[in-house]
Structure 1
Amino acid sequence: MSQPRYNVFNQIHKGLRALMYDTAKNIQQMDFEQANASEVIDQVLLVVDLFDEHAHHEDAHILPMVVAHNAALVDSFEKDHELDHKLSEDLRSLCASWTNATSDMERMKIGQGIFYAFNEFIGFNLYHMNREEHELLLTLWQHYTDEEILAAQQAIIQSIPPETMMIESRWMMSTLNNMEIIGWLGAIKANAPEEIFMGYVKLAAETLSEQRWNTIANTLKIEQVAA
């Protein structure tokens, strides 16, 4: 049986989906005339910022690997990223309007607009990420080794500010399955300084259920986690 190829999108896409789903739930539950709706507004802005960053990394590191082999495919993804940016800007504009609103009725109306605009954002990005994990990934596999794909991923990771990396890591940790987390922590243990590894161990222990964490810790032979 052949070894499965490396899916460079799997981990970050799972984290981004989880963040989108959680944000959509919070939008649906929120009474937008209430002052605490500002927390949901902040979460919407976090989503669009992270998706803009994700698209930028693909434009800078992934699409250049594909363009010589399938220029039409790259063109279609660049157009997707332009549309995604427009959807993000629409949401930013609505969030700014909510912040500047002067009445409960106005905030409620804008909140309804945020609800529908975010639905469009989710629908587009779920489809777009599926395309990436089928069309784009297949082209990468046809022309590059897993080591070359991993090198591109490492370049992306090194370009992400530490505070952004921890936000993304928390969402990824919350949604990956046990084997994916074991592989992730194992790679960090093998390649990163001890303090970085222990930071991710602490994140896993805080994020996962006790049962899941015990299973993962036992597999990796991690004896204890600092409080």
Structure 2
Amino acid sequence: MNINSQEMQQVAAQEAPRLDLYAGIHKALRALMADTLLALGRTDTDDALELAQASQRVMELLDFCASHLQHENDFIHAAMEARAPGASEVIAHEHEEHERHIGELGGLACALLKLEAKQRAGATLELYRQLALFIASNFQHMHVEETAHNAVLWSRYTDAELAELHAALVASIPPQEMMYVVRWLVPFMNPAERIAMMADMRAHAPAPAFAAALDTVRPHLSGQEWAKLTRGLGLPAVPGLVQA
């Protein structure tokens, strides 16, 4: 990988913060992964509906992870390779491993409800443990991307170029997937990030999409968080009065 310690030190020494393509989506991934794992761990395996819901949540996480890998491969890694050949090689191999793990975990999740009742507790525990290992690997993986990969991107691209790259990536995401991203992304940002994200959406997305995004995130924000968001956007704090 074409990344050296001097390059990373130079990037770290910059006073002005750079555009970070990983920060937001990785907050969403960490939140979704942790929430799904905790939900699986507390599932009542004697309750068929609850077990089905837990299995569905795992499948939704895996689908989101697979889509995220593809977005990074198609946009971020392509940009890195264009100006720093070989820079994404190590993480690209990890992506291949993650794809394999996603397939294995999906098989375990789908098999749960096909098992006899007496087998479900053990199978759910095994899925829980394997999912935990997958998440642990992803947490380390994301740290490398946020440090080493950003060092490559920041040393070879301007923020304006990175913004164009990000816009192209976002434009490629189907509306239904984007709402799922918003649900896990916005609530787990800090207030300044949350306001910036929603302000950008209001500026570039159709008014109904912006309104739908507000409706999506509102139930997952505290009263204080919602007040800060609406105040930052110059919107009324009462959800029913928000106009896009």
- Pairwise same-fold verdict (TM > 0.5): yes
State the one-letter code of the partner of 1:55. L
Paired position in structure 2 for 1:220: 233
State the one-letter code of the partner of 1:54. H
Query: Does the aligned pair in 1 maintain the 2:51–2:113 contact within 8 Å?
Result: no
CA distances 1:57-93 after superposition (whole Å, capped 9, x unpaired): 1111111111144433311111000110111111011
Alignment of 1:83 with 2:97, yes or no, is yes
CA distances 1:33-56 after superposition (whole Å, capped 9, x unpaired): 431211111111111111111010
Deviation at 1:2, TM superposition (A): 4.2
- CA RMSD for the aligned pairs? 1.7
**5 Å matches for 1:173-212?**
173-212=186-225
Paired position in structure 2 for 1:98: 112
Question: Within 1, Cα distance between the matches of 2:87 and 2:129?
Answer: 29
**5 Å matches for 1:24-103?**
24-35=37-48, 36-101=50-115, 103=116
Structure 1 residue matching 2:87: 3-state secondary structure? helix
CA distances 1:116-169 after superposition (whole Å, capped 9, x unpaired): 110111111101111110111110000001121121212221221211111111
Query: What percent of counterpart residues are identical?
Result: 27
Question: Within 2, Cα distance between the matches of 1:99 and 1:147?
Answer: 49
Paired position in structure 2 for 1:156: 169
Query: Does the aligned pair in 2 maintain the 1:66–1:140 contact within 8 Å?
Result: yes
Alignment of 1:167 with 2:205, yes or no, is no
Structure 2 residue matching 1:160: 3-state secondary structure? coil
- Which of 122, 127, 132 is residue 114 of structure 1 equivalent to? 127
Deviation at 1:113, TM superposition (A): 1.2
Query: Does the aligned pair in 2 maintain the 1:45–1:92 contact within 8 Å?
Result: yes
Unpaired stretches in structure 2, ≥5 consecutive residues: 1-13
Structure 1 residue matching 2:235: 3-state secondary structure? coil
Alignment of 1:130 with 2:124, yes or no, is no
Would you say how many aligned residue pairs link Structure 1 and Structure 2? Answer: 226
Runs of 4+ with >6 A deviation: none
State the one-letter code of the partner of 2:191. N
Paired position in structure 1 for 2:28: 15
Question: Within 2, Cα distance between the matches of 1:165 and 1:190?
Answer: 16
Question: Within 2, Cα distance between the matches of 1:158 and 1:219?
Answer: 25
Question: Within 2, Cα distance between the matches of 1:30 and 1:194?
Answer: 39
State the one-letter code of the partner of 1:24. L
Question: Within 2, Cα distance between the matches of 1:117 and 1:70?
Answer: 35
Question: Within 1, Cα distance between the matches of 2:21 and 2:84?
Answer: 18
Structure 1 residue matching 2:239: 3-state secondary structure? coil
Question: Within 2, Cα distance between the matches of 1:165 and 1:193?
Answer: 13
Query: Does the aligned pair in 1 maintain the 2:22–2:146 contact within 8 Å?
Result: yes
TM-score norm. by structure 1 comes to: 0.93
